[in-house]
Amino acid sequence: GAVVSQHPSRVICKSGTSVKIECRSLDFQATTMFWYRQFPKQSLMLMATSNEGSKATYEQGVEKDKFLINHASLTLSTLTVTSAHPEDSSFYICSAGFRAHTGELFFGEGSRLTVL
C-alpha cells in the first residue's frame, strides 16, 4: 500500500505560539490530502481538504485563519496551527488518496499536539 509520513509525531508548545505539521506521500503523488483532528475517545473529524496548487477547503466550524494549510507540491501538505491554545491540543492526522487505487485513504502516523 501507499505510504504517508507525518512529522512531528509529538509536539509540545506554549500557548500563543505556532506549530507546523508536515504530511508527505512517500511513494505516490497526492493531488488531494485530508487533515483530520481526533479528540480522546472520539472519532476523526475532517478539518479540511488540501488541494495541490489551490486553496484548501475547510469544513464548517474550522477557522481557516487559525489552521493554515499549504499544499505546494504533489507530495507535501502542511498544517500550521497558529496562536495555539490549550483547547487546540489534539491528535492531528493527515491522509491522502491515490487515484489509481480503489479510493481508500492512507493515513500518516498522526501528530499529538499539546499546548501548555
- Give me the residues that bind other proteins (CB under 8 A), please: 1, 6, 30-32, 34, 42-46, 49, 91, 93, 96-110, 112
Q: What residues contact residue 48 under an 8 Å CB cut-off, 6+ apart?
A: 34, 35, 56, 57, 58, 59, 62, 64, 67, 69
Instruction: For 1-116, list the strands marked E by DSSP.
Output: 4-7, 10-13, 19-25, 32-38, 45-51, 57-58, 67-73, 76-81, 90-97, 105-107, 111-115
Smallest gap from Cβ 16 to other proteins, in A, equals 27
CB nearer to other proteins: give 63 or 104.
104
Q: How far is the CB of 76 from other proteins (least distance, A)?
A: 16
What is the Cα–Cα distance from 9 to 19, expressed in whole angstroms? 12
Nearer to other proteins, 82 or 105 (CB): 105
Measured from the CB atom, is 62 or 82 closer to other proteins? 62
Q: Which is nearer to other proteins, 66 or 112 (CB)?
A: 112
In the complex, minimum distance from the CB of residue 33 to other proteins, in angstroms, rounded to a whole number: 9
